[in-house]
Amino acid sequence: MLELTEGQYNLVYNSFSFVIAAMGAATVFFLLIRNRVAPRHRLAVTLTTLVTGIALYHYVRIFGSWESAFSFGDGVYTQDGQPFNEGYRYVDWLLTVPLLLAELVIVLKLAAGTTRSLLIRLSVASIAMIVLGYPGEIADPDSASRWVWWIAGMIPFLYILYVLFGELGRSLDRQGQTVKRLVDYLRYVLVVTWSVYPLAYLAPQFIDDAATAEVLRQVGYSVADVLAKPLFGLLVVVIALSKSRDEGYITAIDGSHAAEDTTLAEANANA
């Protein structure tokens, strides 16, 4: 049975709590900002809202499962309760990763044929990546099968990064100056944040202490999810807002609000 010190247990516990707060705050923010974006870009904002909303639900379940799996006694937390359900995380990824990739492709507004092709290829690759990764996740850390499944999952993982990094680079010439800079940042954010996942996955392979490996794995996944969902979604929203501003939509909305405020002030003065 896995035994964690109070500090180790609380580190994972607090990281789950932090992710729940981050996902919840991001979901509310994306809902509130949606109408500030031009209608043609709102689908991307809707998708990023779904991503953080789905992740919020699953992290609440992960949090509860972590609590139920351990009992405290003699100064340590012992995993002697219900089994910790790692499946919640993979179900979350199965739903959110294709949506996350779709929001990125849609906000770029590529040619219709290119968009359709990318959505299909990236969705299939992301599902394959997650399905292939799960058997290794629940395998014995000392088993060679964990490496086999990790390598199998890395093939679609690297394919996704290769396609996205290249496609984002090719789209730069079609973007405005501000958007071009944001998309360029997004390419590197994508690579850096996604690289955390395979490293966290391999923690049990390189760390002999099972408790330390489990803590690093859970905290690593949590940090990666915050970077890959709320942060990534925020960048997508900023791109959508920048495109809306370049198209004159935000200026028109602000002008309309200013006119409404002036009319209201005049009405109040006459009253």
List, edge to edge, every strand of the sheet that includes 3-5.
3-5, 76-78, 71-73
Do you know the residue count of the chain? 271
What pLDDT is attached to residue 189? 84
| pLDDT for 263 beyond 80 | no
Distance of alpha carbon 242 from the chain centroid: 21
Q: What is the pLDDT of residues 105-143, one digit of tens each?
A: 888 777 788 888 889 999 999 999 999 999 988 888 778
Strand partners, 33: none
Give the DSSP per-residue string, 8-45.
HHHHHHHHHHHHHHHHHHHHHHHHHHGGGS-GGGHHHH
Confidence of residue 198 (pLDDT cuts 50, 70, 90): very high
What pLDDT is attached to residue 253? 55
Tokens encoding 48 = 């990023």
Q: How many CA atoms lie within 13 A of 213 on its CB side?
A: 15
Q: What is the pLDDT of residues 4-46, one digit of tens each?
A: 999 999 999 999 999 999 999 999 999 999 999 999 889 999 9
Residue that the structure tokens 């729940």 belong to: 20
For residues 83-99, give the mean pLDDT: 93
Confidence of residue 170 (pLDDT cuts 50, 70, 90): confident
Percentage with pLDDT > 70 across the chain: 92
For residues 228-256, give the mean pLDDT: 81
What pLDDT is attached to residue 19? 97
Residue that the structure tokens 């501000």 belong to: 178
For residues 150-178, give the mean pLDDT: 84
- In whole numbers, what is the pLDDT of the chain averaged over residues? 87
Backbone dihedral angles phi then psi of residue 207, each to the nearest 5 degrees: -115, 120
* Structural domains in the chain plus CATH codes: 3-270 (1.20.1070.10)
Give the whole-angstrom CA distance, residue 204 versus residue 212.
Answer: 9
Confidence of residue 252 (pLDDT cuts 50, 70, 90): low
